[in-house]
Amino acid sequence: MKCFTSCFMEIQADMSNVFIIDFESTIRGQPKDRPNPCHPNNFPVFLGLSRLDRELVRHEYVVFKFYNVEKDEFCDNPEFTQYMDDFYLGPDTLLVGHNITFDLLYLRRLYPLFRPSIFDTSVAHYLITEQQGRWPSLDKVIEYYDLPMLKDTRLKECWEEGIDTTHINPDLILPYLQNDVDATEKIFRYQINDLDRLGMMNVFRASMAAQVHTTEMTWNGMRVDKAAIIYHATRYKTWLDSTAGSVISKYGFDINSPQSMSCFLFGGTTKKKQTEVVKDESGSPIIYKSGIKKGEVRTRQIEVDHHVRARYDPVVCGSVRGKAGYWSVADDVLKKLSVHDPDMKFLTDYRRRSKVYNSFLKAYLDILEGCDSPLIHPNINNTATYTGRLSQSKPNLQQVP
């Protein structure tokens, strides 16, 4: 096996510095589960950075802060700018990180001229595992290489509860940050050898070159007409609400519930609300003795099984019974049903318009909420598919109708 350094030199020759990097940022804006660095309400709070030389010897670990506690706002850090001026020498700098697009987007805001070569440990893991390790979290890769993991989960619990990073004690954040940087550095060393051993250096190098460009695409985003989206979203929502109400009145099932729709079309048992008189121990109805309902019989809502006969043959419509016992009402089933009975074509129309509203119009408005920018910045995913192709999410601009 080759040494770390010789394998590393095959990834990128003539490197002067290697930075292991990790940002901890605010979790404001949409989407909450994966806040986008391009959203104007998000900003970096801490940056952990480990600097290695071309022999992969660590020279230092430093932390930079970008948050003013007193003013509760983002602030520039002159020490970070000076640090970058001192050590950044151009594309001969290698930047190493896990899901590094996230870090690159914040660096673009803090140090716009920074255009390094990159090494994404999440993409390396994806390739090393033959694209089976999709969406690899840092914890997953730490476990893969049997590295020690930080057992203190309090910081993650704070984020899961929606507590913003700026409101969390730095004594929780800083050890977590250093652990992530240390782990990423160790993973980087293992992956250099793994990529070389598997003969994947060239494909990995090409993936990193492509990721630089997809990061630029994320940064540039897609410009949208917010007023037009609001207009069409209102029209779609009005039509959807009106149709859903009409279906309940005319047919008696909930068009937004696959189970309710399945029972109506292909038969089955569903739950139905029913009013029941509340009785005392002797079986006599209980009467309100005071209040605005004085003298009235007390009632309550209960759910009872409601058996529905089949209106259509599920087999003819290409439906299959699911694990819960209900027949499928997937899009292809509804299309065959509309051919069999044109009166049911409104189901496919509703499904199509509902998808446009929820996946695009409403999704775009949620992302633009509280944001003056007309740009939408999707996540371009490098490790989400089994085939190796790129995908998009939050939102998926590859499926714009």
Both 157 and 40 in a single domain?
A: yes
Q: Is residue 206 over pLDDT 60?
A: yes
Q: What percent of the chain has pLDDT over 90?
A: 46
**300 inside domain:** no
Q: SS3 string of the chain?
A: CCCHHHHHHHHCCCCCEEEEEEEEECCCCCCCCCCCCCCCCCCEEEEEEEEECCCCCEEEEEEEECEECCCCEECCCHHHHHHHHHHCCCCCEEEEECCHHHHHHHHHHHCCCCCCEEEEHHHHHHHHCCCCCCCCCHHHHHHHCCCCCCCCCHHHHHHHCCCCHHHCCHHHHHHHHHHHHHHHHHHHHHHHHHHHHCCCHHHHHHHHHHHHHHHHHHHHCEECCHHHHHHHHHHHHHHHHHHHHHHHHHHCCCCCCHHHHHHHHHCEEEEEEEEEECECCCCCECECCCCCCCCCECEEEEEEEEEECCCCCCCCCCCCECCCCCECCCHHHHHHHHHHCHHHHHHHHHHHHHHHHHHHHHHHHHHHCCCCCCEECCEEECCCCCCCCCEEECCCHHHCC
Q: For 214-238, how does the pLDDT look when each residue is reduced to its tens digit (9 = 90+)?
A: 999 999 988 989 899 999 999 999 9
* Per-residue confidence (pLDDT) for residue 352, from 0 to 100: 94
**284 inside domain:** no
* Per-residue confidence (pLDDT) for residue 3, from 0 to 100: 42
**278 inside domain:** no
Instruction: State how many domains the chain has.
Output: 2
Both 166 and 237 in a single domain?
A: no
Both 371 and 382 in a single domain?
A: no
* Per-residue confidence (pLDDT) for residue 40, from 0 to 100: 79
Reported pTM:
0.77
* Per-residue confidence (pLDDT) for residue 124, from 0 to 100: 96
* Residue 243 lies in domain: 226-253+314-319+328-375
